[in-house]
Every structure is written in C-alpha cells, then in structure tokens.
Structure 1
Amino acid sequence: MAGHGAPEQRPVDCHELRVAVVAASWHEQVMDGLIDGARRALKDYRVEEPKVVRVPGTFELAVVADALARKGYDAVVALGVVIRGGTPHFDYVCSAATDGLNRVALDHQVAVGFGVLTCDTEEQALDRAGLEESREDKGYEAAAAALVTAQTLRYVRRAYLD
C-alpha cells in the first residue's frame, strides 16, 4: 500500500508564510479532492490566506509555480493528475511536470509541494485524492510537506546564512 512508512507529523504554526496552490483542471473530481486536502492542511498549519490558481493541465503547473516563486511566495503546492493512456503522452507530461517543479524549487530556493498523481487508472487517482472513500490524501500531504520544507528553509537561512 502506498503511504506505508510515512512519517507522522503534527501541524506547526505557519501563519507567517506566503503560500500558493497551483492546481490543474483535468479530472475534476480528483482535483477537487486534492484541492480540498491542501486547504485542510493549510488550515491545520494556520496559513490564513493562501492564493489558489488554476491552470489547464499538469503540464502547465511548472510555469505558473515559477511565476509564483518569483513573486516571493515561501511555498507553492502543485496539484495535478496524469492517468496513463495508450500513448507516450503520459511519460512526457509526468517527466515535464516533475523536472519543471524540481527546477522551480532549486532555481528559487522555494518549497514546492509535489501533489501530482501519476496513476495507471482513474480508480487509483480517486483512491489518493482525499475524498471520503479514498485511502490517501495526497493534497494534504503535498501541502504539509511544502509548509514544513518552507519552515526548514527559513531556519537554514537564519541559522547558517546570516
């Protein structure tokens, strides 16, 4: 089962952070679950006014995440879903999204929560979308990871770079 062995984390106060969520539009039910999960995490971590931006698909996440990082956001939560089909499109989009979001994190030294589901079937995506019947909540997990990473980056900058 995916998620087995995940670290147990308690929410910390992140009200000082500027946080944006950039979310794809394809697969509406899955995306609604991912966004709701991210919002629950942001609320649990006391982020008061996150910016939510929608893009057409998962491929477009990186360019908008880059623009948000340039605007000074401390964390960007990227949410999307790609479901395998009968063409290489799946591989290209997954690779581009992963590489692009990693580049945003490294180029801007900003926390990027990777909430991109790469699934073989729609059922797998629904099972990870944080819906009532889902076993996992990847939107929540991606937001929580971005927030903890943003806090860690703040600590590193203050402790080691000042």
Structure 2
Amino acid sequence: MSGAGAPTLDVDGAGLRVTVVAASWHTVVMDGLIEGARRALAAARVTDVTWVRVPGTFELPVAARHAAGHADAVVALGVVIRGGTPHFDYVCQAAAMGLTDVAVRTGVPVGFGVLTCDDEAQALDRAGLPGSHEDKGAEAAEAALATVAALRASRLLP
C-alpha cells in the first residue's frame, strides 16, 4: 500500500482561504476525493472554501493558476485511469507538471490529489470511500494546509 509511512498532519487552518479545483470524470471516485477534502478542511477549521469543477484532470492546472491568485492554498483533485493508449501518460504528465508549475510560480501551496491508477479498483481504494484503504482527497487538503503552516512558521510567508 502506497500510504505506508505517511506523516500525521494536524494543522489549524482557521482564517485560511482555500480553493479546491476538482475534475469531473469518474464520478464515484471524484465524489470520494471531494468528500475527503471537505472533511479534512472542516477538521482544520477552514471555513473560506471555494469549489471549482472542471471537465477533467488536464484542466486542473489552469483552474489552479487562477485560484492561486485568490487563495492561501489550492487543492487539486482528479483521477486518470490507464487505458489502451498513451493518453494516460500525457494527461498525468501535464497535470503533474502543470500543478507543480502553479505552485512554484505563484508561491501558493498546491495539494496534489490526482490519482494515477492502472484500473478503477486502485482508484476506488484511494478515494476515501467506505472500504477504501486511503483517503487521497483528505491527504491533499492536509498537505496544502501543512505547507502553508510550515512556510508561515519559518516566516517565509506572512
């Protein structure tokens, strides 16, 4: 299981502005990722949350870029399931590079909650649904908040 060794993040996000950008493909998996992010943000006391839905994972970077101008942190959620063509590789690479570029260029932490799976069973196992072994939506939200907290604690962010 890839979640072995994950840190426990307990962050107070009160007062932070967070935007969650989420793809629309694979509804059941996306519903789980979104609910996981919603739970994690609520547990961290984040009340200022903007939700943006885009068609697919490929569109996440442009939405995250616009969101970064209005948020302390961005959480990007999506899922790409391998098929029989190279499409999987192109979309995964574009999403990873695009979201990394948004974070580096804007200085706004981006929680990476994009599942890149070989099959639907792997995606469901990571979606934070009842019976899932992992909750990647929650983990992405927690990572974004923890990064803001770390940068603020080191006085790298106001």
* Correspondence 1:115-126 to 2 at 5 A: 115-126=113-124
Q: Does 1:23 align with 2:18?
A: no
Question: Percent same amino acid at aligned positions?
Answer: 66
- Deviation per CA, 1:116-150, whole angstroms, max 9, x where unpaired? 00000001000000001111000000000000001
Match of 2:146 among 128, 145, 148: 148
CA RMSD of aligned residues (A): 1.3
Q: Quick one: which amino acid aligns to residue 33 of structure 1?
A: G
Indicate how the Cα distance of structure 1 residues 148 and 57 shifts in structure 2: closer, same or farther if over 3 A, else same. same
Question: What TM-score, normalized to structure 1?
Answer: 0.94
Indicate how the Cα distance of structure 1 residues 160 and 129 shifts in structure 2: closer, same or farther if over 3 A, else same. closer
Counterpart secondary structure, 2:85: coil
Partners of 1:67 and 1:134 lie apart in 2 by 32
Indicate how the Cα distance of structure 1 residues 135 and 161 shifts in structure 2: closer, same or farther if over 3 A, else same. closer
Q: Which moved more, 1:28-37 or 1:40-49?
A: 40-49
Match of residue 112 from structure 2:
114
Give the unaligned 5+ runs of structure 1: none
Counterpart secondary structure, 2:16: coil
Shift of 1:161: 7.5
Match of residue 100 from structure 2:
102
Partners of 2:50 and 2:83 lie apart in 1 by 32
Partners of 2:55 and 2:30 lie apart in 1 by 12
Partners of 2:31 and 2:132 lie apart in 1 by 13
Q: Does 1:5 align with 2:5?
A: yes
Question: What TM-score, normalized to structure 2?
Answer: 0.96
- Deviation per CA, 1:42-88, whole angstroms, max 9, x where unpaired? 011000121111000000000000001123x1100000000000000
Match of residue 73 from structure 2:
75
Q: Quick one: which amino acid aligns to residue 142 of structure 1?
A: A
Indicate conservation of the 8 Å contact 2:151/2:157, yes or no. no
Indicate how the Cα distance of structure 1 residues 52 and 160 shifts in structure 2: closer, same or farther if over 3 A, else same. closer
Match of 1:131 among 129, 132, 140: 129
